[in-house]
Amino acid sequence: MPGAPDPLYVNAREVLLEALEALGAHRASLILVGAQAIYFHTGEADIAVAPFTTDADVVIDPTSLADQPVLGEALQASGFVAGQDPGQWFKDEVRVDLMVPETIAGPGRRGVRMGPHGNRAARKARGLEGALVDHETREIASFDGSRRFAIAVAGPAALLVSKLHKLAERAGEAGRTKDKDALDLLRLLRGIDVETLVRAIGRLRSDDRSATVTGEALQYLERLFGRPDSLGSTLAARAAEGLEPADTIQQSCAVLANDLLSAVRPS
């Protein structure tokens, strides 16, 4: 990417790598999601706003998770501190969220009951199910290249589904919707060709773990980005304010969203 990344983003990557090192014995059960995974796939994605995030999101597949070492103990030994909510882990002012897709998370409201790991190491979240189906092992490195780890990274379609669920969940809650989330979704629509997304969405729709949340996400895509004046289109334009014309961003959201929706609808 042109220019140096924001120091806060550099720190977020370092803390992610520290978490991956602490959880090394469990790394085969981890999948990177969220903004850091999106930027891994899209880079600049022809958007004037530089990629930026101050946190890290990781999905845990409990079906392959070993009993030892205990997740919380491993993180705390590496300097992480548990947050107030299940699944929140902090270090150097960076939050790492450990999450389990809702459909495989079992009973409980927020915390996931994972045997010896307790019920506060991770939290359940709807919309992440696609990461279990659509992912590929890649290398995630620090910005200075000093260290790197191989980890499964969710694919663009799974990330699209999870971001749409996040936006839809927060759309009606004042103060919780973030403009950057909408712009990150536009990064996916601009940075990944439609054919790639269509093929992966087909896989998500055909897998019992991800079929329902994928169908819901496509409805959210139409509702939030289907028109230039839709909420998501407006939020994305606001996130790029001063760097790209608002009408350009809003039109781009609507055109790309409808192109994808047309391509995935049954003929």
| CA gap 52, 47 in Å, rounded | 12
Band the pLDDT of 50: cuts 50, 70, 90: confident
Q: Are residues 209 and 104 in contact, defined by beta-carbon separation less than 8 angstroms?
A: yes
Run of H or E including 125: strand 123-125
Q: How far is it, in rounded angstroms, from Cα 224 to Cα 64?
A: 35
Q: Please, where are the H alpha helices in 94-134?
A: 130-133
Domain ranges of the chain: 7-154, 156-264
- Please provide residue 53's backbone torsions phi and psi, each rounded to the nearest 5 degrees: -155, 155
End-to-end, the C-alpha distance of the chain in Å comes to 39
**pLDDT surpasses 50 at 1:** no
Poorest-confidence range of 128-132, 173-177, 182-186?
A: 173-177
For strand 148-154 and strand 135-141, is the pairing parallel, antiparallel, or unpaired? antiparallel
0.85 surpassed by pTM: yes
Q: Which residues are 89's β-sheet partners?
A: 82, 96
Instruction: Give 177's pLDDT tier (boundaries 50, 70, 90).
Output: low
pLDDT value of residue 68:
97
State the number of CA atoms in the 13 A half-sphere of 225 facing the CB. 33
What's the residue count for the chain? 267
Least confident residue range of 40-54, 182-196, 225-239: 40-54
| pLDDT computed for residue 175 by the predictor | 59
Contacts of 214 (CB under 8 A, 6+ apart): 130, 161, 201, 204, 205
The fraction of the chain above a pLDDT of 90, given in percent, is: 87
Backbone torsion region of residue 33, taken as left when φ is above 0, otherwise alpha when ψ lies between -120 and 50, otherwise beta = beta
Number of C-beta neighbours around residue 151 at 10 A: 21
**What digits encode the pLDDT tens for the residues 103-152?**
999 887 889 999 999 999 999 999 999 999 999 999 999 999 999 999 99
93 phi-psi bin (left φ>0, alpha ψ -120 to 50, beta other): left
**Cα–Cα distance for residue pair 107/104, rounded to 1 Å:** 9
Nearest of 122, 190, 127, 126 to residue 158 by alpha carbon? 127
